[in-house]
């Protein structure tokens, strides 16, 4: 019993995901690309349920990068339709389980109905504290950092900008920095995701494509994290 409690206490507080491989998974299984994204959305639900059981408080998902707008118009339309469907289908779950929903990124190009649903869900769940769920949409970390610096410069409060100034003006200022970043599908890069915030995060890369990243594989990644020694630059 004690061992179980100790293990739970060692789990990361904040896990962020670069969900890669939906399209490749669909191609491998001779399915339309959108089916890969649909299966990927189901994985998010499973990760959320397991994280609540493990008392992991913060989850951030890289749902749509700023660069994803360069994909075909058809796929972008399908992704937006899936996002709309996800928000509709998960609203009751967020309310019932007291999940605090927020989003980061530039959502200006998204369909008006999606923007409205994002703001409404964020407002409706703003007082919840059981789990903090963040979706990165139209997000790019370099743009976020530039935006933070420009916000500071506009305030013209001081001459010397500090690290704290930048952190407090990022889109993630309401979140702790991630303890663990998980990227699926075999790529070993960060793809312009939370570059400032993950200075001391542990990185976990797996060849498993996101639609196959089930709860068992999630547990393997978490146990890998537990077995690492985080020194933060010390001995």
Write the CB contacts of 16 (distance below 8 Å, at least 6 apart in sequence).
59, 60, 61, 62, 178, 180, 181, 182, 193, 194, 198, 201
SS3 106: coil
Which run of H or of E encompasses 9? helix 2-10
What are the tokens at 22?
Answer: 């939906």
CA dist., res. 60 & res. 142, Å (int)? 17
Q: Using an 8 Å Cβ cutoff, are 33 and 23 in contact?
A: yes
Which run of H or of E encompasses 33? helix 33-54
CA dist., res. 13 & res. 181, Å (int)? 12
**Residues labelled catalytic:** 20, 68
Query: Is the dihedral angle over the CA atoms 189, 195, 200, 204 positive or is it negative?
Result: negative
Helices 33-54 and 215-226 pack at an angle, to 10 degrees, of: 50
């Amino acid at each position: 019993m004690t061992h179980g409690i100790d293990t739970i206490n060692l789990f990361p507080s904040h896990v962020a995901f670069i969900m890669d491989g939906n399209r490749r998974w669909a191609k491998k299984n001779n399915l339309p690309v959108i089916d890969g994204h649909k299966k990927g959305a189901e994985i998010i639900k499973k990760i959320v349920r397991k994280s609540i059981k493990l008392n992991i408080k913060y989850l951030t998902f890289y749902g749509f990068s700023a660069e994803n707008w360069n994909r075909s118009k058809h796929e972008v339309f399908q992704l937006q339709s899936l996002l709309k469907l996800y928000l509709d289908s998960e609203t009751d779950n967020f309310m019932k389980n007291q999940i605090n929903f927020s989003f980061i990124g530039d959502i200006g190009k998204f369909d008006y109905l999606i923007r409205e649903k994002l703001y409404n869900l964020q407002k409706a769940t703003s007082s919840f504290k059981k789990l903090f769920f963040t979706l990165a949409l139209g997000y790019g970390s370099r743009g976020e950092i530039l935006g933070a610096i420009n916000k500071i410069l506009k305030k013209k409060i001081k001459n010397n900008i500090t690290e704290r100034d930048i952190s407090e003006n990022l889109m993630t200022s309401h979140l702790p920095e991630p303890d663990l970043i998980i990227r699926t599908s075999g790529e070993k890069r960060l793809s312009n995701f939370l570059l400032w915030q993950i200075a001391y995060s542990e990185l976990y890369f797996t060849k498993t494509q996101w639609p196959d990243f089930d709860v068992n594989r999630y547990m393997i990644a978490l146990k890998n994290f537990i077995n690492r020694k985080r020194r933060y630059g010390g001995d």
